[in-house]
Structure 1
């Protein structure tokens, strides 16, 4: 079978009876082309199936209209749905997307991945990896402002980084304040991995809510999980052993809450009278858990969209002459979604004053 030869800009110019410069002006939508000439060139481009070289356009315009995304944990709900928002907004703004996955961010060569993306002339990068291991060393050791514009997702804020994140601390407070308001007084927590900033922020919100209500927030009320349902099961069993008076639990994601619910069904007779449960994420299945799960909803798709929009603004500013433009970080507010798993009977609740 004969291979199809790539059509060149010279062939388009010859067929249209114009110069290659005129074809280039039509491709780049320049105004200095007569309307009839523009139509003739566009017709020839369509007939011949000509596709401009992305590499050539990058060399000419110094922009590739390509974004790089470095991500991990796409088997989890949060990272995967954030990527949905990234892809959606990337397409809406006319960019292409290059995705690089870090399967082991603690040990993988982060700089190699960055250099690969830079060699492909991406206009900007969205960094969606927790600050752990080699990732942390790279962030602390590099002059990031010398690279292309970078947006960091759910990263601990610091000078020089533009972060787009959910307000995880606020989410932890929402979950815990809701349990307190519904009569629960001995509230444990299963955190995510504590080397993840999001996990530490959710735990901080939990602690602040308990302390504001004058309630105990001790170390035996905390167990570290790994985001999986299995770690939720292991976590609730540990908490029941080391904190037997516990009457409610905040699981730092819905998958761990699922493990909690399954375990409680096996060892408790009443629910949620014996143990209230609140999760975090609002995955679609959480409404169908038994009982239906009260949870904290993250606007993850919106998070991804805003990250791309913010990065696009930074790229535009980077190509403009003049004074440097300051870009602020963005924090999106989570919302509590109340269902059956936390609805303790109000008559059992003792009055409590919340400190502010």
Structure 2
């Protein structure tokens, strides 16, 4: 007997629209109703037409897309390494990953890239994108077409994505604050982030300020600037702040460019020491940590994020196994000079 959405609705005493919202991971459903509908879906084995089409074996194997934003060579290399590690673990020659690297970060470039992947008949997509309404709508559109989306590194939480895999970003920011506060000695702190439209950038800042307030009772001595991870904007912004504020004692580099920050500090020649904590063990960050210009690095596993995202989509597409969690965190590490 074919199970329909109306049968699920009748069993649970809800409308077909509510069933559709639960199936597609949309909002505006009470938690207890969502749990009841999901239980009925699982018990009866209901699948939408898009899910039934997706479950049909492909003649030429399965291909998923993986969109890599233009975040620099280190991030790209680590992400590609994770993808290859996943393919080796999976060991299925019929399963492929089509990688697309972006040069910009606009919604238009993302959508153009996704459309090209759709033309390649991808069965799923791994996406690292800004948390914007156009991207949420794009993920919802793909999901409605039977193309599941996993977000990686930076989340789009108000979308129908299957799950998110990345660093515990609030914890990352809190750790950085815990490392820097003892070095402030009553001075000010500068927070340099990329673009707060990216969840990965915004939540680090939120976590830092949250912990700073807990430890200091005040965040009035903290100043945030956005530099879109560009060398020139970071250099100019840090140089301006060092020259403007003689009370500056610490910098939290929530994102790149660490090189821009270090070059600005060298140019400014501040009379007082300025301590720096940065994120991610990039080649530049490693160099600056080794020579003492950076005090600590809060690292994350880019490779592990990519590997797990590919594995989740494979399990979903090839074995029909949904992830048990909607958010999966990779490890966060503190690296000091002594650990290099």
Task: Please confirm whether the aligned pair reaches a TM-score higher than 0.5, indicating the same fold.
Answer: yes
CA distance, structure 2, for counterparts of residue 103 and residue 285 of structure 1: 21
Q: Does the 8 Å contact 2:82/2:304 carry over to 1? A: yes
Between 1:241-250 and 1:191-200, the stretch displaced more is: 241-250
* Aligned residues: CA RMSD: 3.0
Query: C-alpha displacement at 1:306, in angstroms?
Result: 1.0
TM alignment of 1:97-116, pairs within 5 A:
97-108=97-108, 110-116=110-116
Deviations 1:164-213 (A, max 9, x none): 11112211111111011345442221111122211111110110111011
SS at match of 1:142: helix
Consecutive unaligned residues of structure 1, counting only runs of 5 or more, are: 1-57, 341-356
Task: Indicate the residue corresponding to 1:126 in structure 2.
Answer: 126
CA distance, structure 2, for counterparts of residue 151 and residue 211 of structure 1: 34
Deviations 1:64-103 (A, max 9, x none): 2322112221535334422321233124323322122343
Distance 1:61 1:96, change over 3 A: closer
TM alignment of 1:1-356, pairs within 5 A:
61=58, 64-93=61-90, 94=92, 95-108=95-108, 110-132=110-132, 134-139=134-139, 142=141, 144-153=143-152, 154-158=154-158, 160-161=160-161, 162-185=163-186, 186-218=188-220, 221-253=223-255, 255-268=256-269, 274-289=273-288, 290-293=291-294, 294-318=296-320, 327-339=325-337
Distance 1:110 1:230, change over 3 A: closer
SS at match of 1:195: coil
CA distance, structure 1, for counterparts of residue 302 and residue 335 of structure 2: 15
SS at match of 2:257: helix
Distance 1:158 1:332, change over 3 A: farther
Distance 1:99 1:283, change over 3 A: same
CA distance, structure 1, for counterparts of residue 71 and residue 250 of structure 2: 30
Q: How many residues align?
A: 275
Q: Which has the larger radius of gyration?
A: 1
Task: Indicate the residue corresponding to 1:343 in structure 2.
Answer: none
SS at match of 1:291: coil
Distance 1:183 1:111, change over 3 A: closer
Q: Does the 8 Å contact 2:81/2:303 carry over to 1? A: yes
Between 1:241-250 and 1:186-195, the stretch displaced more is: 241-250
Query: C-alpha displacement at 1:241, in angstroms?
Result: 4.6
SS at match of 1:274: coil
TM-score calculated relative to the size of structure 2: 0.70
Q: Does the 8 Å contact 1:229/1:258 carry over to 2? A: yes
Distance 1:269 1:199, change over 3 A: closer
TM-score calculated relative to the size of structure 1: 0.67
Q: Does the 8 Å contact 2:242/2:268 carry over to 1? A: no
SS at match of 2:251: strand
CA distance, structure 1, for counterparts of residue 57 and residue 145 of structure 2: 22
